Structure 1
Amino acid sequence: MKNFILFALLLIMVGTSCSDYNKIVKSTDYEFKYKKALEYYEDEEFVRSSQLLSELVNIYRGTSRADEVYYYYAKSHFGMNDYLMAGHWFRTLVKDFPKSKYAEESQYMIGYCFYLDSPKPRLDQQVSQKAIDAFQLYMNLYPGSDRIEEANRLIIELRDKLVFKSFLSAKLYYDLEDYKAAVIALNNALKDFPDTKYREELMFMHLRAKYLLAIRSIEEKKEQRLTDALDEYFTFVDEFPESEYRKDADKFYQQTAKLLNYNEEANL
């Protein structure tokens, strides 16, 4: 009986709440509606706050309060994990009100929304690149911000994702025995992200791809490609003399030198 009474009271409360909200939606008192939208936002009822603000962004457009309405509308979408719409309204705010007190945070949030929407490395990484570009723009615009360290950390994370995407692409080319495409993919990754934590592994893969490409080449291209593989070996061991891949790299050197008819002993 007690549980039934509590359930009935809950239904009454929910019904009353819905009734009150419907009255707010139908109200033409926009100041009152805006006040309630902020209350819903503060109470983390983001669906209701965003629904009210969706009307108010048009009502207050062109007024001194427009940037604030845009800001809370964007934040409401963010609270609902709708990062696509949140990012859109943060960009709109920055574009229309570059001098707004909300502009700095909004510029950061543009990058952060892209970051949260960034897919797994196996998928297309255009959103990740957009996040990097947005964070870099933020740091250029606000070099004294206390968010700089965090923005840098997120950029590094996103760049590592792009590098890993290149790694996966190269591995796919390996599996397909398309070593020419693997060389190109790895070369681009090393050129675009020279400071990546994957550099040692990428450089070894680059060496191995060049070696495999060379030994499978037609005769008129083999010598030049073997020479390229040899140069890649020296580049690799110069940068990573104690690499865990050193033994395999040395084998590539010895086999390449033999194919090129080197007379001198490998100085390993």
Structure 2
Amino acid sequence: MYFRCLAPGNPVLREANETRERMRIRTFFRVLVVGLTVVFAVSSATDAAWRSRRKKRYDCSARLARALVKYDKGRFGDVKTILTDTKYQCGGHSAMDSILYYLGMAHLQSRSANEAKLEFERLINDFPNSPFAEEAAFRIGHCSYLSSNPPARDQSTTRDAIRELTNFLDRHPESALADSAKKYLHKSREKLAEKAFNTARFYEKIDKYEAAVVYYRALIDEYPESEYVMESRLATARCLARVARAVEARDELTAILAEEPDEETARKARDLLARVDELGRKGKRRWFGRDEETAGPGSPAPDTVSGTDGDTASGQETGDTPAAVPDTSAVDSANIDSAGTDTAETRPERTAPPDTTGRQDETDAGPDGDTMQADTSVAKKPDAAAGEAGENPGPDGESPAGVPPDTGASPEKSESAPSEDPDSAKPSSQ
């Protein structure tokens, strides 16, 4: 009976198989419906959350308010993070000018002057009628000043700051920020004046006095209100005295004293003027080396005089100190002759040794500081020697001491027939 029920053609077995198949299909559809329901619910919740976050992200006013709270607390890094994102998401929002302003101020407080300048420039260009536009115009020049280089380096950014601050003062002369703009404008000009002063001082240190005068005077003309002007005027007079322009130096110093400067400047001007006058009384037209600068106004100048081959008449080494040259225009020949201090009778006799080194003449200083040439064969008057020295200027327009004028003729002394009588070198009396 049992085996008969399991036969393939048994209707009971066939009905059981059909029932089992229907149950399987029903279970599949139930699982499918439940799965689709879960997927739809999850996707709906995700979409709702995304929409909520999206709406919150683009709430520009709320983001700006949050940034302002952090700005008041001094958390400028958080302010930059919030407003940088808000700037790109709220391009056409009405609070965009406020976003740019506070973002620029956050950069400025973080010592990022270049980034701050970019934000202020965008604010000026996109929102010229904004209430923040006036301060943004000032901050542009302020940022240029803060990002400028020290005086020893390139000053193009400093010049940009001067231009931008000047434009701000021209457009907003009555602004509450005008005083601050003038302060930074003065600092920018002072930086350029310092650079010009250092350049002039460099030329003075390497003994390029004419170039130094040019730079000092350019500083005085371009920056008349600078604190370096008075020092530049003193340095100009000092350099003029070094290049045989004592009259100009004296005029400059006299003008400084006439303006009644401070005590220190007046003392320097008086000392320098006394030094220039002292050199003029000695018949000298210029300073000779750095020893003259440090000696002080009351110290006597070295009386060493160079010979023809660079040696001094006294035989001592003078380093790189040039030879002293008399200024024939400053010496009154009538007074000298009447006093009798420049004649052969009052001057001690000097005997020139035989010329064994190829030197043809020696230059020596007289008692009054002027020079005379002691030739071993022919005696010359001091005035004549000084006159010939003026006819043969050296590289600076002056005659090197001890060098005879180049007249194209052979020297008066013949090397083949030296003078045997040393007394013949004595200068004859007039």
- Flag whether TM exceeds 0.5 (same fold): yes
- The change in CA–CA distance for 1:149 and 1:38 in structure 2 (over 3 A counts) is closer
Alpha-carbon distance in 2 for matches of 1:117, 1:259: 54
Alpha carbons of 1:185 and 1:96: their partners in 2 closer, same or farther (altered >3 Å)? farther
Aligned equivalents of 2:191, 2:267: Cα separation in 1: 23
On the 8 A contact 1:60/1:69 being kept in 2, the answer is no
Q: How does 1:237-252 map to 2 (within 5 A)?
A: 237-241=254-258, 243-246=266-269, 247-252=271-276
Deviations 1:94-114 (A, max 9, x none): 232222100111111122222
Residue 234 to residue 57, structure 1, CA distance change in 2 (3 Å): same
Mark the runs of 5 or more structure 1 residues left unpaired by the alignment.
1-23, 216-225
Shift in Å at residue 250 of structure 1? 4.1
Contact 1:230 1:256 in 2 (8 A): no
Q: 1:35 aligns with which of 65, 82, 85?
A: 65
2:400 maps to none
Quote the residue 1:54 is aligned against. Answer: 84
CA, structure 1 residues 262+63, in 2 after alignment: closer, same or farther (shift >3 Å)?
farther
Deviation at 1:203, TM superposition (A): 0.7
Shift in Å, 1:167: 1.4
Shift of residue 136 of structure 1?
1.6
The answer (yes or no) to whether the contact 1:111–1:132 under 8 Å persists in 2 is yes
- Residues 70 and 79, structure 2, Cα contact 8 Å, conserved in 1: yes
Q: Secondary structure of the residue that 1:72 maps to in structure 2? A: helix
CA separation of 1:203 and 1:44: change in aligned 2, threshold 3 A:
same
Q: Distance in 1 between matches of 2:328 and 2:137?
A: 57
Matches within 5 A, 1:145-156: 145-156=175-186
| 1:90 is the counterpart of 2:120 | yes
**Bigger radius of gyration among the two:** 2
Shift, 1:63, TM fit: 4.0
Work out whether 1:164 is the aligned partner of 2:232.
no
Quote the Cα distance in structure 2 between the aligned partners of 1:87 and 1:111: 8
In the alignment, the residues of structure 1 paired with residue 328 and residue 126 of structure 2 have an alpha-carbon distance, to the nearest angstrom, of 65
Cα deviation digits, residues 203-246 of structure 1 (max 9, x gap): 1112222333x25xxxxxxxxxx3xx523531342233462222
Per the alignment, residue 230 of structure 1 pairs with: 247
Per the normalisation by structure 1, the TM-score is 0.73
In the other structure, the counterpart of 2:329 is 261
Inter-partner Cα distance in structure 1 for 2:199 and 2:105:
36
Q: Which amino acid aligns with 1:29?
A: Y
2-structure distance, mates of 1:28, 1:60: 10
CA distance in 1, matches of 2:247, 2:328: 10
How much does 1:262 deviate? 4.0
CA distance in 2, matches of 1:185, 1:139: 29
Q: Aligned partners of 2:153 and 2:194: how far apart in 1?
A: 11
C-alpha separation between the residues in 1 aligned to 2:175 and 2:223?
25
Alignment of 1:54-203 (within 5 A): 54-203=84-233
Q: What's the offset of the Cα at 1:88?
A: 2.0
**Which residue identity does 1:249 align to in structure 2?**
L
Amino acid at match of 2:186: I
1:122-149: per-residue Cα shift (whole Å, max 9, x none)? Answer: 3333333222222222211111112222
Contact 1:70 1:89 (8 Å CA) reproduced: yes
Larger relative contact order, structure 1 or 2 (CA cutoff 8 Å, min sep 6): 1
Mark the CA change 1:245 to 1:39 in structure 2 (over 3 Å): closer, same or farther.
Answer: same
Match for residue 427 of structure 2?
none
Q: Which blocks of at least 5 consecutive residues in structure 2 are unaligned?
A: 1-52, 261-265, 287-325, 333-430
**How far, CA to CA, are the matches of 2:89 and 2:213 in structure 1?**
57
The Cα of 1:80 is off from its aligned counterpart by 1.0
Q: Name the CA distance, whole Å, in 2 between partners of 1:237 and 1:79.
A: 50
| Matched-pair identity in % | 23
CA drift of 1:82 comes to: 0.9
Question: Which AA in structure 2 matches 1:251?
Answer: R
Which amino acid counterpart does residue 143 of structure 2 have in structure 1? C
| Separation of aligned partners in 2, 1:166 and 1:125 | 11
Aligned residues: 228
Amino acid aligned to 2:272: D
Q: In structure 2, what is the Cα distance between the partners aligned to 1:260 and 1:210?
A: 19
Judging by fraction of residues, say which structure has more helix. 1
CA–CA distance in structure 1, aligned partners of residues 90 and 138 of structure 2: 24
Structure 1 residues 23-43: Cα deviation after superposition (integer angstroms, max 9, x where no partner): x99x63342433322332222
- TM-score using structure 2 length: 0.48
Which amino acid in the other structure matches residue 67 of structure 1?
Answer: D
C-alpha spacing 1:126/1:178, structure 2 compared with 1 (3 Å): same
